[in-house]
């Protein structure tokens, strides 16, 4: 969100992954080969970095472009796609700062959730492409249902060999307590205006017309899902893949659900050979109480008090009996 609450400020952490990788390499060389080898390694690394930079500048000068950069985002999705709260801020920052032709790599993990939540998340990714940025989605574990809705927006989708991909379908389920309420002589009344303001309910008696209308709504949602996927991945055979099934990486590749088998780690290492790669991570800025651990301490105190409440009540009851 462009206007976060002043009570809950968001901070953005930026990590230069090239530097992190170099530091790890240096640490390993020193630990396994000694300081003399480390000194030699640093010289080679500096020389290689200068050559790589010169080559990039020369290549981009011919094309009339600026040196392209790579930005890495992470999305760990839950049922409500709550991670979109930070994703939208990160994307807004990139759109207003990055150059056309820069690449954004999204490390995505989600098994889906609410339609409107993941619809918003997918729309945020579409903003990157509208701004002229290249988008690559990497799936190491799972991108299914709403997760795949997000992934399909990308220019390229990379997945690990056993990543779960697909599930272009819609599901809805709910319990019905009508018989239980009836057996306990409990009436349930529902008032609506509009024939279809409510169809199936958890507490009322559902009839065939209610179920038919609800199924019609699910089918309409599925149609919108398929149209969205087709807009970004027109090469898919939707009759074959939009069945609600999911596939592992290799099979997903044969069905054109993804573009290549590769882990995010492997891909980022490739990019670091020729590009500066930066990871962006936004988070809610901790309050002073959270920094000092007071918030957690207060929660622990409340929890202990709740746990001891039955024992205290029992002691009070015993005391009352003694004084009667």
Give the contacts of 233 (CB within 8 A, at least 6 positions apart). Answer: 152, 256, 257
- Would you state the pLDDT for residue 40? 83
Model confidence at 139: pLDDT above 70: yes
On the question of pLDDT at 82 being above 70, the answer is yes
The pLDDT score that the predictor gives to residue 43 is 81
**What does CATH list as the number for 10-167+245-285?**
3.90.226.10
**Rounded to whole angstroms, how far apart are CA atoms 313 and 247?**
55
Dmax of the chain from CA atoms? Answer: 97
Could you confirm whether 141 is annotated as catalytic?
no
What's the mean per-residue pLDDT of the chain? 87
The torsion angles phi and psi of 285, rounded to 5 degrees, stand at -65, 125
pLDDT (mean) for 93-114: 95
Tokens standing for residue 211: 């179920």
Residue 165: is its pLDDT beyond 80? yes
Stretch 293-312: mean pLDDT, rounded?
Answer: 66
Q: How many helices (H) and strands (E) does the chain have?
A: 12, 9
pTM above 0.85, yes or no: no
Residue 124 scores a pLDDT above 90: yes
Using CA atoms, how far apart are residues 156 and 1, in angstroms rounded to an integer?
27
What pLDDT is attached to residue 289? 64
Write out pLDDT tens, residues 221-275: 999 999 999 999 999 999 999 999 999 999 999 999 999 999 999 999 999 988 9
Annotation marks residue 52 as catalytic: no
pLDDT confidence of residue 294: 59
What is the spatial distance between Cα 148 and Cα 255, in angstroms, rounded to a whole number? 14
pLDDT digits (tens, 9 = 90+) for 175-202: 999 999 999 999 999 888 998 888 999 9
Residues of the chain above pLDDT 90, percent: 65
Please give the share of the chain, as a percent, with pLDDT higher than 70. 80
Kindly indicate the confidence band of residue 324, based on its pLDDT and cuts at 50, 70 and 90: very low
Identify the pLDDT of residue 160: 98
Query: Each residue of 39-59: pLDDT tens digit?
Result: 888 888 777 766 766 666 566
Q: What angle do CA 18, 51, 58 make, to 5 degrees?
A: 105
Which residue of the set 111, 145, 264, 282 is catalytic? 145
pLDDT at 290: 61
Contact present, 1 and 85 (Cβ < 8 Å): yes
Q: What is the pLDDT of residue 48?
A: 74
Exactly one of 13, 179, 197, 324 is catalytic; name it.
Answer: 197
pLDDT of amino acid 50: 67
Query: What is the sign, positive or negative, of the torsion defined by CA atoms of 235, 240, 243, 249?
Result: negative
């Amino acid at each position: 969100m462009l206007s976060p609450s002043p009570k809950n400020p968001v901070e953005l952490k930026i990590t230069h992954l090239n530097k992190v990788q170099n530091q790890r390499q240096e640490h390993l060389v020193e630990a396994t080969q000694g300081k003399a080898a480390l000194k030699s390694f640093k010289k080679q690394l500096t020389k290689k970095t200068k050559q790589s930079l010169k080559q990039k500048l020369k290549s981009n000068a011919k094309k009339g472009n600026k040196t392209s950069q790579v930005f890495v985002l992470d999305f760990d999705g839950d049922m409500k796609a709550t991670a979109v709260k930070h994703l939208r801020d990160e994307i807004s920052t990139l759109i207003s700062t990055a150059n056309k032709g820069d690449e954004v790599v999204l490390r995505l993990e989600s098994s889906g959730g609410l339609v409107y939540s993941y619809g918003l998340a997918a729309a945020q990714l579409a903003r990157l492409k509208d701004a002229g940025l290249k988008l690559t989605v990497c799936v190491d574990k799972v991108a299914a249902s709403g997760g795949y809705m997000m992934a399909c927006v990308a220019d390229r989708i990379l997945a690990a060999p056993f990543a779960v991909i697909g599930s272009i379908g819609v599901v809805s389920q709910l319990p019905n307590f009508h018989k239980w309420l009836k057996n306990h002589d409990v009436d349930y009344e529902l008032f609506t205006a509009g024939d279809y303001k409510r169809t199936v309910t958890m507490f009322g008696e559902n009839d065939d017309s209610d179920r038919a209308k609800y199924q019609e709504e699910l089918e309409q949602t599925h149609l919108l899902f398929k149209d969205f996927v087709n807009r970004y991945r027109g090469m898919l055979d939707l009759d074959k893949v939009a069945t609600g099934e999911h596939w592992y990486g290799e099979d997903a590749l044969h069905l054109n659900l993804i573009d290549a088998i590769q882990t995010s780690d492997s891909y980022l290492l490739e990019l670091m050979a020729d590009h500066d790669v930066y990871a962006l991570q936004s988070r809610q800025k901790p309050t002073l109480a959270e920094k000092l651990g007071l918030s957690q301490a207060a929660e622990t105190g409340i929890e202990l008090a709740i746990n001891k409440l039955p024992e205290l009540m029992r002691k009070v009851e015993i005391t009352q009996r003694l004084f009667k």
